[in-house]
A and B are shown apart, each in its own frame.
Chain A
Amino acid sequence: MTAVAPSVVPALPAALALAPGGASHAELFASAQDCAGAAFALVLENQRAVPGDERPWLWVQDRASLRQTGRPYRPGLPRALRHRLIHVVTTTPEDALFALEEGLRCRDLAFVVGEMAGNPRALSLTAQRRLSLAAEKHGAVLWLVRVGAQRDLSSARQRWALRPAASLSPRWNPQAPGTPAWHAELFRARNHPPGEWILRDDGQALVAQPTQQSTHPVDLAGAAGDRPLAAG
């Protein structure tokens, strides 16, 4: 790993641009050993935030994900978002789904982050579809972080698998961890081809660079993998 920053700032993948209606329902799969999923959602929302937008946002956690990956820590949240957080802890996944849906229906919330551990029975395809429809009806943004979960059936419009990537060395202290970076794999999306990127927060904005060994070249159809052939 070298300390040289990329000379040309690569553009963000089109999949990360906000959809025209403003609504989105993305699922982020992350391991229980790190908080890459929530961090990725927050850094994206921090970048999309309009200056002067003081609407609060909702972070719903069920008890299991709270125990595994911890509680939000205000001094560590992005500066534009930290004072607007409303945090909800639920005992059961059913209550978490209820809280997410109420959050999507609320017009005064900027976006909703949900964090659920494992593959609870309540988080079925029907429940996912309810969330998708509510998000689309009210033009809301939902980031559903799945902590340590299998890739089950879902109606999410985008499905990402995230894991942390090694950061670039900071200029003044090469031994220190640098600004965060994530390895993001978009394995299922409605309007985008799948792809893999290294996303890096370079201090001002989020930049993306494709991974060297891309498994899904643009000119070739990707392997079906665990994705249904009849893509929606």
Chain B
Amino acid sequence: MLADARALCPTLAVAPADLAGDRATLEALALWAQRWGPWSALDLPDGLVVDVTGVAHLFGGEAGLIADAARSLARRGFAARLAIAPTAGAAWALAHYGPEGAILHPGDSLDELPVAALRLDPATVLVLRRLGLKRIGELSGVARDALARRFRNHKAPAANPLIRLDQLRGLVPEPLLPVLPVDVPLVQRRLMEPIRHRSLLDQVLGDLCGDLVRVLEGRALGARRLELALWKVDGEVLQRRLELAAASRDPAHIAALFGRKLDDLDAGFGIELARLRAPWTEPLPLSQRDFEAAAEAHGTSLAACIDRLSIRLGPDAVRRPVPRASHVPERAQKWVPPLESESASQGDLPFHARPLKLLDRAEPIAVLYASPDGLPRRFRWRGQVHEIARAEGPERIAPEWWRERSTVRLRDYYRIEDGEGRRYWIYRAGLADDGRGGVPEWFLQGLCA
């Protein structure tokens, strides 16, 4: 093929196709295209679908949105054909075969478009052409059951014009689009002049938080998760995400939490569009707002305190222990986020004395014992010799065979007090003749009160 073409035209410029690069560009473009709507999808190989439900008023109507998109895409060097329609199928048909910048209003007809506008594969288009059906309108002229019988063995939508026709008219749901439009609270600010400085960004962020709080207030909602997206002039999108411990509608609090996340921001040539959305909200009835002055005088609330701690220290740093059904001491508690409710559990037995603190890893101790089965007389821990004055035990804790390997040894726990009154919890792993290893080792696991 290439040799034939070169024989005809020797000066032909040839470049290899970069399919993966095209795909990556399209994915980046899909993310960028979310500036016109909160939801976008790829339409391979060269298309994008953006859900603009309820967004058009931000751009001054659908015509304004189309004009804005055409202008922005042209500025980035893309040749694009745009269309807005109630279904993805109709929008595809208009974008590929309709007039430039078409908007499908209720009552408009698509009958004049060729059948190829139904997103059919070439073989099906050929079949339809041989049947003499060239336009979408002509399909309605044929009895529907005749067509259904003709294509009864074609289950794929791209091979069956009836499925495509129903998708185009919105009679059949198409999994590309959400079934119900999700109306996420969303506010945005388009900036006259790209901003590059942090103080201006803080101002914009404060305005956005104020706007979002008004939107949330109108619906009696509080935000749990917030997403801030900043569109840069060079086409990149910066995203920051935030989760709150409890539903909140306090603009100063939200702005302060985002402020910490913006420290490492690289504005590049400037930010031209900022958007804040709250994808996860919870009902929050109206109440008096918590002013910063009130917090200064009366202290912060628990949720605000935990937010501040986990934003600075990370979510895994702030946790609370809850019991877990296990006999093995280090497994008998697990750590969960601080405001999570505690699941029901069996009460612990009051005659089991447990240490106040547990070492993360039990530390081996060197022991000197009177008899190998008995209690050691003294032991060395962290380079210091402890004389055992009093002891209670053993409390035997067998390994959990349903969780662990069969070679795990049992533990005999002793609560001991040394000559200076220090109280520890030590155990011996295994017995001398249990056949699961050599001489049993001793470990110090807990520090008692």
Which residues of A approach B to under 8 Å, CB–CB? Answer: 33-36, 38-39, 42-43, 56, 66-67, 69-77, 82-83, 85-91, 95, 98-99, 102-103, 105-109, 138, 163-167, 169, 173, 175-177, 180-181, 183, 201
Contacts and interface: CB of A to CB of B under 8 A. Distances in A.
Contacts of A98: 312
B320 A87 contact: yes
Interface of B: 295, 298-302, 304-306, 308-309, 312-313, 317-323, 329, 332-333, 335, 338, 342, 348, 352-360, 382, 384, 389-392, 415-417, 420-423, 446-449
B357 A173 contact: no
B313 A99 contact: yes
Contacts of B416: 177
15 contacts: A34-B423, A42-B449, A56-B302, A70-B357, A73-B446, A75-B348, A87-B335, A90-B313, A103-B305, A106-B305, A107-B301, A176-B415, A177-B415, A177-B423, A180-B449
B354 A75 contact: yes
B352 A75 contact: yes
Contact of B356 (A42, A90, A176): A42
A70 B447 contact: yes
B420 A163 contact: yes
A72 B321 contact: yes
A72 B421 contact: no
Given A33-B382, A39-B356, A176-B391, A76 B446 contact: yes
Nearest to A115: B357
Nearest to B349: A75
A167 B449 contact: no
Which of A43, A98, A164, A201 gathers the greatest number of chain B CB atoms within 10 Å? Answer: A164
Contacts of A34: 422-423, 447
Contact of B308 (A72, A85, A102): A102
Contacts of B421: 163-167, 181, 183
B335 A177 contact: no
A150 B200 CA distance: 47
B333 A85 contact: no
Given A70-B446, A175-B392, A75 B323 contact: yes
Contacts of B320: 56, 85-87
Given A35-B449, A90-B317, A166-B389, A106 B423 contact: no
Contacts of A166: 389, 417, 420-421
B121 to A, nearest CB: 58
Contact of A70 (B319, B338, B360): B360
Given A34-B422, A87-B335, A167-B421, 7 more contacts: A38-B357, A73-B356, A74-B322, A105-B305, A138-B299, A164-B422, A165-B421
Nearest to B330: A73
A66 B356 contact: no
B384 A69 contact: no
A232 to B, nearest CB: 26
Contacts of B422: 33-34, 164
Contacts of A90: 313, 317
A183 B322 CA distance: 32
B447 A85 contact: no
A39 B447 CA distance: 10
Contact of A71 (B317, B323, B360, B420): B360
A109 B332 CA distance: 26
Nearest to B332: A75
Which of B323, B342, B382, B421 gathers the greatest number of chain A CB atoms within 10 Å? Answer: B421
A105 B312 CA distance: 16
Contacts of A33: 382, 384, 422
Contacts of A103: 305
Contacts of B358: 70-73, 76
A118 B390 CA distance: 30
A40 B276 CA distance: 48
B303 to A, nearest CB: 9
A105 B302 CA distance: 10
A86 B447 CA distance: 20
Contacts of A43: 449
B357 A87 contact: no
B191 to A, nearest CB: 34
Which of A73, A91, A166, A176 gathers the greatest number of chain B CB atoms within 10 Å? Answer: A73
Contacts of A35: 356-357, 447-449
Given A73-B356, A74-B321, A74-B333, A106 B390 contact: no
